[in-house]
Copies of this chain bind each other. A is one copy, B any other.
Amino acid sequence: MNYLSMSKDEIADELQLMKQAYQTYQDKNLQLDMSRGKPGSTQLDLSEGLLTTVISNDDCKSLAGLDCRNYGSLEGIPEMRRIFARILGVDMSEVMVGGNSSLNMMFDTISTMMTKNINGDTPWERLDKIKWLCPSPGYDRHFAITQYFGFEMITIPMNSDGPDMDKIEELVSTDESIKGIWCVPKYSNPQGITYSDEVVRRFAKLKPLAKDFRIMWDNAYVIHDISEKSDRLLNLMDECKKCGNEDLPIMFTSTSKITFPGAGVAGMACSEKNMNFFRKKYSVQTIGYDKINMLRHVKFFGSYEGLMEHMQKHRAVLEPRFNAVVDKLETQLGGLGIAKWIKPNGGYFVSVDVLEGCAKRVEKKKKNAGVILTNAGATFPYGKDPKDSNIRLAPTLPPVEELEIAMDLFCVAVKLAALEKLA
């Protein structure tokens, strides 16, 4: 029965019931973590071969003949660049391989532009005001970077096929202080939305007033399908090249959720002009990133095809977890009129919009019953969800049986928060 059409008495009765249900969960003394997009140990176990991949003194050269143990190779070994090129759909020459964190490469990208302008103009640190577009709900660690550098973040609403392009086009064409945008174009964090062809084409055709405007295209989940029906993302770089806009995007990805979050390999890709700018900085910043880890990854995957087979193993682990989460939402919250969600075909999250003003309350209730959620509000700039409505669920870490308990509790908490609001 839809909560929104209940009478006062019905609400009071239901509230009483849910309070009792909630109490039973509190008594269970749960300790579950659904806060971060962390792979569970079953997933980590899939990459044990990376730990045990045999590299010896006689077998530590890259395809280019370079000893991976020694200094050199600023852009990474060719075979790892090639794999990232396949993943991102770009040319190998457009790829640079970094350390273990694409977040670090994104931070470094913006940090570089703070003290050197990519077009030779005024460095961003010397400008009075920088603004940045933040499709939201989005990734809290993206927003933390732009907040750290003091940018004014502008929330861009997310539609079912990607960010609101009307708003983006209008803003970037009229405000020169807008210097960039965060995007997770495939299986977006947290909604699992893949940008439509039209959205990608409109990104490629953007004509920002700021010539140093850049699209931070974080393709973190580009090959992270979790269902039979996988999404297809149009290639932004190809589209950009068609309209002479290839300097617009800077692309990122990593193996954090392919092998190990703590010991993977990250990569970025961009136009030659952009890469020349960043390479100049990287050549001062380091002599090169960890080539032995790159070599381990290449040997472990065997090939791009081997990597894609490996992703099927992740899917086998994750699909039941996402199904468990969405099943619980459908059976327990379906039709009540108090929550909306999208069933994603990939990525790491399920995003739920509860009644306005209820997200923080739901988070608190779960915490008090021993289940940690991502902080309510974290999916918006400055940690402030204007509607206090969005909740990010991360189903990857707990095993299915724990997940089901956590989701039962979640649904009770959502109901309780809604009833308290309606009462």
Binding site for B on A (CB under 8 A): 36, 38-39, 41, 44-45, 47-48, 51-52, 54-57, 60, 67-73, 99-101, 103-104, 107-108, 111, 114-115, 123, 125-126, 141, 144-145, 148-149, 256, 260-263, 281, 284-293
Contact = CB atoms under 8 A, between A and B. Distances in A.
Contacts of A111: 111, 115
A291 B256 CA distance: 13
Contacts of A57: 41, 44-45, 48, 51
A170 to B, nearest CB: 30
A304 to B, nearest CB: 23
Given A56-B52, A293-B293, A261 B115 contact: no
Contacts of A149: 115
Nearest to A62: B262
Contacts of A68: 262-263
18 contacts: A36-B71, A38-B70, A44-B69, A44-B70, A51-B57, A69-B263, A71-B256, A71-B262, A72-B262, A99-B290, A103-B286, A107-B285, A114-B114, A115-B115, A115-B149, A262-B292, A263-B293, A293-B293
Contact of A290 (B60, B125, B263): B263
Nearest to A148: B284
A56 B67 contact: no
A260 B286 CA distance: 15
